Structure 1
Amino acid sequence: MCLGVAMLSVNDAIAKLLTSDYNPLQILFLRNVIALPFAMGIAAAIGGRAALGSRRPLAHVARGALWVGATMLFFTSLSRLGLAEATALIFAAPFFITLISALVLGEIVGWRRWLAVLAGFSGVLVIVRPGGEAFQPVLLLPVAAAFTYALLMLSARWLDPRDSVWTLLVWLTGTGALLGAILVPLVWVPVRAADLPAFAGIAFFGVAGMTMITQAFRLAPAVVVAPLDYTGLLWATLFGWAIWRESPDELTWLGAAIIIASGVATILREQRSAA
């Protein structure tokens, strides 16, 4: 899990580097096109040829659209925000999942989970600081990405229960490539030969990271591995400082700490409820 999160952090750092010269849509499209053969190879090797197909393809296409939207919002935010700052705000996704589950899907949510949600949102507000002098509208982009990502997670209920996690990986990558192919001509610029290793790297680290995280959830209880997702903030801070000399301010650190603490509390609470 830790290695997978680190690889996804490398993926984000490369994406931030590329946003100075390429539209996020083009970055996402090329990542998916390069990654698709690898994703299909991994799925076929582990899950067999059956892992490449699905009985509910339209559900996968809809989820792919949500994934493209979430990634586009996040990559766009990376072009304007510090890596650690954007990463901290994307961790608001679990609280959106709880909110949507209760208000839209009618699930019963206890008062402890509501407190965790309120705490998580307070952490987001500490970072975003709406109405303050430090407020930037671009700070809302990773929050919107977190909301879209929450919809993506909840949309897993639309899928055929017989579909494996490898099927999900292939269809997300393939749908991203397909949707990107439709829209990318609007923003396409020639790719410099010097940038090809970066595009290959973002494809490799993205697929490898997701594969390792998926395996972690297969091999260990969610309560053990899920909190380790927050190690991504450490990597984001390290890469942000080493490459761009970014240093989050005190309020960003405080907001991130509140978000992480409430997220871990939610995970532990749900594990106890399921026991």
Structure 2
Amino acid sequence: MQAAPSGREASYTSGVVLMCAGVACLSANDAVAKALTSHYPPLQILFLRNVVALPFTVLIAITMGGWQALKTYRPAAHLLRGALWVCATMMFFTSFIYLGLAEATALIFVAPFFITVISALFLGEKVHIWRWLAVLFGFLGVLVVIRPGGATFQAASLLPVATALVYALLMLSARWVDARESVWTLLVYLTGTAALISVFIVPFVWVPVRLEDLWLFAAIAVFGTAGMTMMTQAFRLTPAVIVAPLDYTALVWATLFGWLIWRESPDAATFLGAAIIIASGVFTIFRQKGKAA
């Protein structure tokens, strides 16, 4: 008789399932956002997504962390993070107007390399030669995808790269949040501050919402909130070295959604560049795990 899985094995399995489901939801979120960009400005999409998602995010935070999850000790840090989130999302959604879903998704995977560079140059962290080689390898993958100077180069390809840079700053800014605050607190304030910041700008770009698009705005809020919640829980249940590489399955979903909805077919260079970026990212994750062991 086969032995029942241990508590740790069950936890790891749950984490893997949650991570895969969360990545799929966020990929669906991106696909819906790309569909909406044909009728609405990215800022309006971001604003409505956060306004609709905020009540659900608060409910999840209270359920998972209690009322304490709504308390913050450093509101200024959350305001900064909200501003970074607005900038990153705006650029990423704007890139959907010009790029295929898979291409934009592949390029945003360079965020871990920006984190490495910023940590070394500005935060005084020691980065060993192997991580620098991984950064250079990942940058090579970016060049393969965007092909600067080539006939197929688009300036819009720089938008996901810029998004990755701002996203890296967002991840590093979590260090400025009070250690007493949970990941659920971060989730609530990230959604809330992004809605607060965008509400002052969105009236200048507002486009009347069509009745037939209401379900799409609801969908982007549901997929985005569900994805972030499941991925957060996955990292709580399972070591990052196991679940973090699963984030790259987003490229599979992006390729699938892009083909099914827009008949997008990424070329060989995009797949090659994405493979290089993913390989260097996975190497960085396992190298970091080896140092921590």
**Correspondence 1:125-274 to 2 at 5 A:** 125-274=143-292
Letter in 2 for 1:46: M
> Using the alignment, how far apart are the partners of 1:21 and 1:262 within structure 2?
37
> Using the alignment, how far apart are the partners of 2:99 and 2:40 within structure 1?
16
Structure 1: segments with no counterpart, 5+ residues: none
TM-score, normalization by structure 2:
0.93
> Using the alignment, how far apart are the partners of 1:266 and 1:35 within structure 2?
33
1:61 pairs, out of 62, 70, 79, with 79
Deviation at 1:191, TM superposition (A): 0.3
Deviation at 1:87, TM superposition (A): 0.1
1:100 pairs, out of 109, 118, 138, with 118
1:9 pairs, out of 27, 48, 65, with 27
Aligned to 2:4: none
TM-score, normalization by structure 1:
0.99
Deviation at 1:216, TM superposition (A): 0.2
Partner of 2:264, secondary structure, is coil
Letter in 1 for 2:135: V
Q: What whole-Å deviation, never above 9, does each CA across 1:104-139 have from its counterpart, x for those lacking one?
A: 111110000000000000000101111111111000
> Using the alignment, how far apart are the partners of 1:105 and 1:52 within structure 2?
29
> Using the alignment, how far apart are the partners of 2:201 and 2:232 within structure 1?
29
Deviation at 1:30, TM superposition (A): 0.1
Partner of 2:200, secondary structure, is helix
Q: Are 1:39 and 2:34 matched, yes or no?
A: no
Question: Which of the two has higher C-alpha Rg?
Answer: 2
Q: What whole-Å deviation, never above 9, does each CA across 1:25-54 have from its counterpart, x for those lacking one?
A: 000000000000000000011111110120
Structure 2: segments with no counterpart, 5+ residues: 1-18
Poorly superposed stretches of 4+, deviation over 3 Å: none
Q: Give identity over the alignment, percent.
A: 71
Letter in 2 for 1:201: A
Q: What whole-Å deviation, never above 9, does each CA across 1:74-113 have from its counterpart, x for those lacking one?
A: 0000111000000000000000000101111111100000
Letter in 1 for 2:179: P
> Using the alignment, how far apart are the partners of 1:20 and 1:186 within structure 2?
18
**Correspondence 1:88-127 to 2 at 5 A:** 88-127=106-145
Aligned to 1:77: 95
Deviation at 1:180, TM superposition (A): 1.0
Letter in 1 for 2:42: P
> Using the alignment, how far apart are the partners of 2:64 and 2:170 within structure 1?
24
Partner of 1:131, secondary structure, is coil
Letter in 2 for 1:77: S
Equivalenced residues, count: 275
Partner of 2:131, secondary structure, is helix
Deviation at 1:165, TM superposition (A): 0.5
Letter in 1 for 2:120: A
Letter in 2 for 1:115: L
